[in-house]
Structure 1
């Protein structure tokens, strides 16, 4: 069963409840997500993205994963 953008957002939101999250994609397998969260402050991009992928709880695990591709952009909020 294909995964929906809303399901991806819900999984990410469990780990990042205060984040600004935008998930786009409608083919059930390929998505793009933007996650902006204060917890990313001081982390490099690899650390940020690993944290988000961990929140997906195996949905991208190899050929058995429901989510085939996720173009992920992460950052801490601007401190203006």
Structure 2
């Protein structure tokens, strides 16, 4: 999570600057996928394990895949959409 326009990491009270499969206590949906919350304010105590704090204002979120599987390498996988709530 980077603050724009300088593209510096977003300081936050959780000291969390990224979220991913190795994030402690990451909650997953029934299908095994996580729902990630990108917001300035907490989405609620029950969802904070999947929360990446965002700045008040423009930000740049980057999706990185490490050791991609065949679906990603063959471009058969597409990134899930960002869905505003």
What is the TM-score when the length of structure 1 is the normalising length? Answer: 0.32
Instruction: Identify the structure with bigger relative contact order (alpha carbons < 8 Å, sequence gap 6+).
Output: 1
Between Structure 1 and Structure 2, the one with more helix by share is 1
From the CA coordinates, give the structure whose radius of gyration is larger. Answer: 2
Q: TM-score w.r.t. structure 2 length?
A: 0.31
